[in-house]
Structure 1
Amino acid sequence: MIFFRKNDDTPQAPEPGPQGLAERARAAELPPAAREAVDAELARLANTDPSAAEYAISTNYVELLLSLPWNAVTPDSLDLERAEAVLDASHAGLGQIKDRILEHLASRTMRQKSEAWILVVDDEPIARENLRHVLVREGYRVETAENGQAALERVRRFEFDLIVTDLKMDRMDGLQLLDKAKAVSPATKIMIVTGYATVDTAVRAIKTGAVHYLTKPIDLDEFRASVRGILAQRPAESASRSPILCFVGPPGVGKTSVGMAIAQAMGRTFTRMSLADLRDDAELRGHRRTYVGALPGRVISALRGLSVRNPVFMLDEVDKIGRDVKGDPAQALLEILDPEQNCRFVDRYMEVPFDLSGVFFIATANSTERLAGPVLDRMEVVPFTGYSEEEKIEIATRFLAPRQLREHGLTHPYPEFTREALQGIIRGYTNEAGVRGLEREIARVCRKIARVCLSEGKTGFAGDIAPDMAVSLLGPRRFSHETAGHGPQIGEAVGLVWSETGGEIVSVEVSRMRGASRLLLTGSLGEVLKESGQIALSHLRSNAVDFGIDPGFFSEHDIHIHIPAGGVSKDGPSAGLTMAVALFSLLSGRPTSPGMAFSGEISLSGRVLRVAGVREKLLAAVRAGITSVVLPMENAAEVEEAGRSMASLPRIVLVSEVRQALAAAFDAPSGPTPPEAKP
């Protein structure tokens, strides 16, 4: 029989029970509040019977505090070129979002790589010059001031990391400078160096905000070590507060994957938590330990599992949080997301503050309508717009098709989706702003090809996937988008609308009949759309003479406004201009100019007001073959931004009044000439 001798150098696991926890507690680097809580709980455990229920509760509590990453952080990768390469390799388009992330990384890089600046203040030239010489040799950037008043003037114009000041000086002594400099620049550290040291002045200096107090003659080694220790905290403090972003956009536009790319670009750990239908605020804040089966909140639990306190933390579907008698979870987010509070976040289970300021929180939502105002106020909204057809084709070619081909074993060799096939899938089988549905359709094609290959005994499919092949595999097309192919009709105008699936065009139809001056609105319209119809009619009636309309017409006729597809609910503040144009077309007996679409809300006085979703509406116009689009003048910036990200735009006419829109819409102008169109 062979015996193996155990290696005595093998590290031993901590003993179970209070003794083992006490050893771990002594070795752990805990903040003062956590140290006090652990010591108190260990003292209670020492006097508790292990068979009692309280014993397990206390043990679990101490285990949690000892396992949390109080000081463990992942250093940021601040290489902007690498970060840009990661974002470009993982996502097509999204230029504005990528710029925002790179700007954040650039600001962190500037802050962390900036040199330390020190201001030396002393009324003795020799002492001042000696300190400056010592600090310069240590590699710091140093400026000097001959008294407190001169130093204060420099602090007002320049931010210093550290001020080294004498105590007794003419015009303004060190304590006065300390008080006034902290008011001007709270982040600046101040060290007092004096030959008139007393216990009273030392106590007053520390209470006022000094971080160190040295007596003359100075021990240079002690002075260097003190300065080095003070400035060593500077990078950690500059990087302690992370931004809180809220990605808002329709489904499938890449909000979650962008968050993952941010974590990869920064070199941080990524975690995601879905808040959809979260109803109990204890899920975020934790349960009090008095409850049976109490647990910490999901945020603290996630950080415990990650073992770092500065991950990229995605709060997904934040606009779908529920609410019931157990509390409002959205209000629990205030303490988590508020930069002024989350540095001391208190979980109910822990009852000890934990610093969340280093966490890079990213919330995602489809819209901001359901977000509580205080929660929204604490986040920086980053809008995600829908993709154009060109961008969808590029995304499918670079990412979606290769991934699905690999997942379905079609790699020997790779089939290739032609551009026309992808275009046909996008137009006939998807109706979305993002690309989630497009990837599902590509997966359907791959599954059907894999089945055909197996039935024919082939190991792969060689060749291109053409449009006719895609249609034969996917079957009849499921979506047909409205087009501007038919000629203009009297009493009809084409409007541009936005929905969660992207932009669309709709026809607004108006007819008249004998009646008693009633306005009928049909098409499953919401209250805002109904009000837009009332405003459009009231504006035309109040200015009937100016528009060349018989004022007596309205008292003898009913007017019916209809938007087709009545089975689909419609609402929103952007159809007023389209309704006004359709009404004027009916009342004047003239059709609108061919290939023209409108979007804008109007006021009773005839002003054309700003609308949202301009890029999605322009994408819909391009897809439908619209040649001219009339938009509010207030949307000029969005039109310019869309022009930079879209390959081609229709002719854009920007208007500020209804008269200008009518002048652009009809062959025989009425009113002033519209502003010159921008290509």
Structure 2
Amino acid sequence: MTESERGTVKYVDLPIMPLREVVMFPRSIMPLFVGREASIKAIEAAQASFSKQIFLVAQLEPELEKPDASDLAPVGVVSKVLQMLRLPDGTIKVLFEGMYRANWNDLRDDEQCAMVRVSRRNEWQSRPDEREALVRAVHEALEEFAKNNKKLSQESVLSMMALHDSGSLADAIIPNLKVDYRKKQEALELDDVTERLELAYEMLHGEVALASVEKRIKNRVKVQMERNQREYYLNEQIKAINKEMGRDDDPMAEVDELEQKIKDRDMPDEARQKALAEAKKLRSMPPSAAEYTVVRNYVDWILDLPWNDLKQIDIDIEKARAILDGDHYGLEKPKERILEYLAVQKLSHGLKGPILCLVGPPGVGKTSLAKSVARATGRDFVRLSLGGVRDEAEIRGHRRTYVGALPGKIIQSLKRVKYNNPLFCLDEVDKMTSDYRGDPSSALLEVLDPEQNHTFMDHYLDLEYDLSKIFFITTANSLHSIPVPLLDRMEIIELNSYLETEKRHIARHFLLPRQIEEHGLKESNIRVSDNAILEIIRSYTREAGVRNLEREIAALCRKTAIKLVEEDNLDKCVNISRQSLSSILGVKKYRHDEREAEPQVGVCAGLAYNQRGGEILLVETTLMAGSGQVVTTGKLGEVMTESAKAALSYVRSRAEVLGLDTRFHRKVDIHVHVPSGATPKDGPSAGITLATSITSALLGIPVRNDVAMTGEISLRGRVLPIGGLREKLLAARRSGIKKVLMPRDNEKDLKEVPDEVLKDLEIVFVDHVDEVLPQALDASAEEIFSGRATAQPICRILRPEKHEDETKKQPAQ
């Protein structure tokens, strides 16, 4: 150790060791673990050459591995190495004792270690009259601190209580406080012992306050732990009692498991809070209570619903088109509309939009089309039949106050499907009725409204449920019985009845292979000709769809199966032709009206359309001597009866042009009959047919047997548009008709008729009945309109003739 004097200041050269987040104080003993190589060398040098003295100073930045002069505090402590112990990991444990405070300068690297020149720092005391009071206050605070700090030994407290020197007392207290090292360094640098002791008192007082807060926290935690331990102990006792009494399941454990499931379930916060509140009720109920089962079922319903569980949807338009075409032949417009809908959903990434409603006669594939859409989009398919539903609770559920209450069909179906975005097919939406229990169609208004169904409220759940991710498709046979508000929420897609050509293709490529497979046959076991399939369609079925057609094909497969089994030849091929059908399926069930073999007076062919397709409708008119009575028979509806009256009125108004006696109606009775009297008939489209039939009977001119017609008639003779054009033209072609007369306003609808139907048909568009008669009657126009070319209006007869001299002025009388 080297010493030098400059004036009155004494300097000493000592090894230096920087400290991390630690501040050494004079007269304190502190153990430290040393790992830095430079620090170990400094300790070794102190022991070897400097009488075990070393200068300890705090680093300003603890992260630095090799600090320089600017990174060290300006004041440190000259200390003595009391003991050193080397540890197996290469570090050493050193026990230091602080000697005095010192300033330093001239930091340099020596051969052994870093060296520094230090000078002792002098102390002084201000306000000596306050020393005694300050020391006494510190002693009191120290006693309070010692009560709450069990780590501080009694001997240390007594030794500090014996100190009355301000500097020594402050230096003894500060190292035992858990304060930041910067605060301790600030105290170390104070030369005024009174200020240093005041700072020590401030830190000590803060530690006392903090210790009291820690004590309160520990006591509170301890009480909570004791309570938990008590509950655990009591629960274990309950389990033991239940086990002794033969109860295997612990009800409280079941409730705990239920609450954990509720917390883990992905659901809205409102539903979770409701479920937790209901589960909490179970804790205060015995499992044998009736209410326990009701509450438990309610919580189970909330847990089982797919609140936010969505199935991954991948809309591939080409794949969807292939699936729809593979499952359904024809139905081009409905399939195209569905593909458009799917394309919009793919671009908009949502389902908010109109609800699709498939409308068509039975058996045309409405429900199966909805299944195909579900398969094309990868959604789960849910079918809910609404036929005969008359209770609102079927949709919304019952309130929990009722015994045996359950959610509505919507929520029940979602529980089964496990995902919140299936395809929902609401079947037979037109078959719902209402009574005193409510109107289910009104309950559907909320379900099928995209603006409302995200907050659907089921009476049983009494929670808002989001239905907006569900793809709703409804089906109906007719729109007339659907309430207007419900109809307004749906986009209508009409499915027309199948044409004969479509039925033949479906039977050949879909129905026959399926029935062969279901009956355990091979394709080589049965061979059905095209004429046989056509005969089945025409003579053994009369429907819009193909259900009965499939039944008849199934009958063919059963007859074939019997032959194979009876002859014990499973490889035999049974050929079925048109001629052999009667021996297999029996007598023909239906007949289609054919055209007349030759032109007949008063017999005219009209075209009709119903849900089973198109039909040819023969209208017969006969005259009898009488007094002008008009009779209509054939089970005609009100609209068709009125059409007959309108047709007769038109003929009477044109009597003079047609060459008829203007009072012919007083001399004869007219009887109009439409055959197939047991079949109801209605609609306005037979208007021109009735007019032609009546005119033919009155004029005695036969109606051409190769002409059929359709169109509504007005009193002025105008021909108005009609519907079902495609089916009517198919019926005309099937019956051997060559020429069809139809309203000119229907010319645009001809684009939707397949070319195969229009083949060999001459289509004539007309605007007026005067254009119909020359085309339909077997006579020339001159012969038909043989009366006066310009008939006088009937109003002329009602007015008196004007005298030639009416213009002469009469003299005044």
Q: C-alpha separation between the residues in 1 aligned to 2:554 and 2:665? A: 57
Change (3 A) 1:16 1:262: farther
* 1:512–1:558 CA contact under 8 A, matched in 2: yes
Query: Match for 2:306: what amino acid?
Result: P
Residue 504 (structure 2) aligns with? 393
**Structure 1 counterpart of 2:695, from 570, 584, 608:** 584
Q: Please report how far the alpha carbon of residue 76 of structure 1 lies from its aligned counterpart in structure 2 after TM superposition.
A: 2.5
What's 2:538 paired with? 427
Q: Does the residue aligned with 2:580 lie in a helix, a strand or coil?
A: helix
Q: Which residue of 1 aligns with 2:344?
A: 107
1:65 maps to what in 2?
A: 302
Amino acid at match of 1:321: M
Distance 2:755 2:338 in 1: 19
SS at match of 1:464: strand
Per the TM alignment, residue 324 of structure 1 is displaced from its structure 2 partner at its CA by: 2.4
Q: In the alignment, which residue of structure 1 is the partner of 2:333? A: 96
The unaligned stretches of length 5 or more in structure 1 are 1-12, 112-234, 672-679
TM-score, scaled relative to structure 2: 0.63
Q: Measure, in 2, the Cα distance between the counterparts of 1:16 and 1:535.
A: 83
2:259 corresponds to which letter in structure 1?
A
Q: What are the residue-to-residue correspondences of 1:150-189 with 2, within 5 Å?
A: none
Pick aligned residue for 1:558 from 661, 669, 672: 669
Q: Deviations over 1:87-120 (max 9, x none)?
A: 1111111111111111112222333xxxxxxxxx
Shift of 1:293: 0.7
User: 2:424 aligns to what SS in structure 1?
Assistant: strand
2:37 matched residue in structure 1: none
Match of 1:409 in 2: 520
- When the two chains are superposed, the root-mean-square deviation of aligned CA atoms in Å is 2.2
Q: Compute the displacement of 1:242 (Å).
A: 5.0
Does the 8 A contact of 1:243 with 1:360 survive in 2?
A: no
Contact 1:412 1:460 in 2 (8 A): no
Q: Secondary structure at the match of 2:474?
A: strand
From the superposition, tell whether residues 63 and 646 of structure 1 become closer, same or farther in structure 2 (CA, over 3 Å): farther
Q: Helix, strand or coil: the match of 1:241?
A: coil
Residue 261, structure 1, aligned to residue 498, structure 2:
no
423, 444, 458: which one aligns with 1:333 = 444
For residue 466 of structure 1, report the CA deviation from its aligned partner: 2.4
Give the deviation of 1:537 after TM superposition: 1.1
Q: Which residue identity is paired with 1:73?
A: L
1:65-94 superposed Cα distances (whole Å, 9 cap, x missing partner)? 121111122233221111111111111111
**Structure 2 counterpart of 1:577, which letter?**
I
Corresponding position of 2:397: 286
Pair 270,644 (structure 1): closer, same or farther in 2 beyond 3 Å: farther
Q: Which residue of 1 aligns with 2:617?
A: 506
**CA distance, structure 1, for counterparts of residue 495 and residue 755 of structure 2:** 16
For residue 570 of structure 2, what is the aligned residue in structure 1? 459
**Local SS of the residue matching 2:742:** strand
Residue type of the alignment partner of 1:21: L
Query: How many Å separate the matches in 2 of 1:599 and 1:378?
Result: 34
Equivalent residues of 1:388, 1:646 under 8 A apart: no
- Matched letter for residue 592 of structure 1: V
Residue 448 of structure 1 and its aligned partner are, at CA, apart by: 0.9
Aligned twin of 1:148: none
CA distance in 1, matches of 2:550, 2:252: 53
User: By how many angstroms is 1:529 displaced?
Assistant: 1.3
CA contact (8 A) 2:627 2:667 kept: yes
What is the aligned partner in structure 2 of residue 43 from structure 1? 280
- Kept after mapping to 1: 8 A contact 2:515/2:557: yes
**Distance in 2, Cα, partners of 1:298 & 1:408:** 36
Query: What amino acid is aligned across from residue 780 of structure 2 in structure 1?
Result: A
Deviation at 1:647, TM superposition (A): 6.5
- SS of match in other structure, 1:86: helix
1:668 aligns to what? 780
Alignment of 1:23 onto 2:134: no
1:467/1:58 CA distance change after superposition, 3 Å? same
Which of 522, 525, 531 is the equivalent residue of 2:636? 525
- Match of residue 273 from structure 1: 384
Please state if 1:367 is matched with 2:478. Answer: yes
- Unaligned ranges ≥5, structure 2: 1-249, 786-813
Separation of aligned partners in 2, 1:252 and 1:466: 26
Shift of 1:483: 1.0
State the partner residue of 2:682: 571
What is the alpha-carbon distance in structure 2 between the residues aligned to residue 263 and residue 242 of structure 1?
Answer: 17
Structure 1 CA distance for aligned equivalents of residues 358 and 769 of structure 2 = 35
Say if 2:383 and 2:424, in contact at 8 Å, map to a contact too: yes
Give deviations 1:187-227, integer Å, cap 9, x for gaps: xxxxxxxxxxxxxxxxxxxxxxxxxxxxxxxxxxxxxxxxx
Pairing 1:308–2:435 present: no
- 1:449–1:461 Cα contact (<8 Å) kept: no
Q: Does 386-395 or 652-661 show the bigger shift?
A: 652-661
Amino acid at match of 2:404: G
Q: Aligned AA for 2:771?
A: Q
Distance 1:14-1:255 versus aligned 2 partners, 3 A rule: farther
How big is the shift at 1:441?
0.4
377 and 668 in structure 1: CA distance in 2 versus 1, 3 angstrom threshold: farther
Distance across 2 between alignment mates of 1:14 and 1:65: 20
One-letter amino acid of the structure 2 residue matched with residue 285 of structure 1:
R
Match of 1:478 among 567, 570, 589: 589
Q: Which residue of 1 aligns with 2:113?
A: none
Would the aligned equivalents of 2:252 and 2:283 in 1 still touch at CA under 8 Å? no
Distance 1:556 1:305, change over 3 A: same
Q: What amino acid sits opposite 2:512 in the alignment? A: A
Percent identity, please: 46
Local SS of the residue matching 1:468? coil
Deviation at 1:579, TM superposition (A): 0.8
CA–CA separation in structure 2 for the residues paired with 1:549 and 1:296: 73
Q: Which deviates more, 447-456 or 341-350?
A: 341-350
Work out which of the residue numbers 443, 446, 450 in structure 1 matches 2:554: 443
Q: 1:502-546: CA deviations, max 9, x gaps? A: 111111111122222221111111111111111111122223334
| Aligned residue number for residue 617 of structure 1 | 728
* 1:597 pairs with 2:705: no
Q: State how far apart, in whole Å, the 1-side matches of 2:523 and 2:760 are.
A: 41
CA contact (8 A) 1:287 1:294 kept: yes
Q: Is the contact between residue 596 and residue 705 of structure 2 (CA under 8 Å) also seen in structure 1?
A: no
Once the two structures are superposed, residues 595-646 of structure 1 have per-residue CA deviations (whole angstroms, 9 ceiling, x without a partner) of 1112222222323222222222122112111222222233233222114684
Equivalent position to 1:249, from 349, 360, 365? 360
Alpha-carbon offset, residue 14 of structure 1: 12
What is the alpha-carbon distance in structure 1 between the residues aligned to residue 772 and residue 749 of structure 2? 19
Residues of 2 paired with 1:435 and 1:240: CA distance? 32
Q: Matched residue of 2:619: which SS?
A: strand
Alpha-carbon distance in 2 for matches of 1:595, 1:484: 7
Residue identity opposite 1:586 in structure 2: A
Per-residue CA deviations over 1:394-421 (Å, capped at 9, x if unaligned) read 1111110011111111117342322122
Quick one: distance in 2 between partners of 1:411 and 1:360?
39
Normalised to the residue count of structure 1, the TM-score between the two structures is 0.75
Q: Helix, strand or coil for the counterpart of 1:287?
A: coil
Q: How many matched pairs?
A: 533
Number of the residue aligned with 2:33: none
Mapped partners of 1:47, 1:354: distance in 2: 29
| Deviation (angstroms), 1:368 | 1.4
Q: Distance in 2 between matches of 1:305 and 1:45?
A: 26
- Determine if the alignment matches structure 1 residue 83 to structure 2 residue 195: no
SS in 1 for 2:729: helix
Cα deviation, 1:21-79, whole Å, max 9, x if unaligned, reads 21111011212332332233233333333322222112111211121111122233221
